[in-house]
Structure 1
Amino acid sequence: MAVTIKRVYDAPSPDDGFRVLVDRLWPRGLTRERAAVDHWAKDAAPSTELRRAYHRDGLPWEDFASAYRVELAANPAVDALRDELSRHPVATLLYSVHDAERNHAAVLLDVLEA
């Protein structure tokens, strides 16, 4: 299985394969049709507390990524997502934040591939 990440606001492409939104909140201003999401894995997203600490309170990226990895290690939604992704030859994890490098989907992808 080949899994990539992409911003949900970018136009859907046939190359995306199975599209999985990995945000806890639905992206602002985006309709379900325009998002073209096949599966919403909100339980695999960072906890509300961790998300707020990073986006609102200025938690450093390294601390966020480390704390998110701890959450993922104890989260049964990760195994469920891994199982769902294994059914598709190509999949894309979708996120809504602006930063293409420092986002939770990149951390989640790393954990899924480990």
Structure 2
Amino acid sequence: MDIAIKRAYLDAVPTDGTRVLVDRLWPRGVNKARAQIDWWPKEITPSTELRKWYHQNPEQNWDEFQQRYRLELTQQEATLQELLQLAQQQKVTLITAAKDEQHNHVVVLKRVLEQSLTSLE
């Protein structure tokens, strides 16, 4: 199991494996052909309401955002299972446009996936 996170503005390389865009909106200024996105499951991204709420005050809202996003993810079991199956078979790189590489939804999603994969082993 190998799950990585990469910004959408970095070049795609063969070692990325399957590239999964995990942002609700397409990254500004990124050419679709150059991005080489294999899958774009918008349903596992934070809801518009949650995303807007979080961005009002990211530092203050980070802890609660993680909890609320995890709760939203429980409503997307089928897509998460599909992503987990993919990650069990090959490397998966979660692609995002998020600037803050430590405090964003992709970090939370990766943790959820890794915890689920660990429990399956």
1:78 to 54, 77, 80: 80
Could you list the runs of 4 or more consecutive aligned residues of structure 1 that deviate by over 2 angstroms after TM superposition? 83-87
Q: Which residue of 2 aligns with 1:49?
A: 49
Deviation per CA, 1:43-78, whole angstroms, max 9, x where unpaired? Answer: 1111111011112x2251111111101111222322
1:90-101 equivalence runs, <5 A: 90-101=91-102
TM-score by length of 1: 0.89
Deviation per CA, 1:67-96, whole angstroms, max 9, x where unpaired? Answer: 101111222322232233334x21100111
What is the distance in 1 between the residues matched to 2:30 and 2:47? 22
Kindly tell me the number of residue pairs found equivalent between the two proteins: 112
Greater strand percent: which structure? 1
TM-score by length of 2: 0.85
Greater helix percent: which structure? 2
What is the distance in 1 between the residues matched to 2:76 and 2:91? 23
What is the distance in 2 between the residues matched to 1:105 and 1:90? 16
How far apart are residue 11 of structure 1 and its match?
Answer: 1.3
What is the distance in 2 between the residues matched to 1:47 and 1:84? 23
* Identical positions, percent: 44
Q: Which residue of 1 aligns with 2:27?
A: 27
- Which runs of no fewer than 5 residues in structure 2 stay unpaired? 116-121
- Which runs of no fewer than 5 residues in structure 1 stay unpaired? none
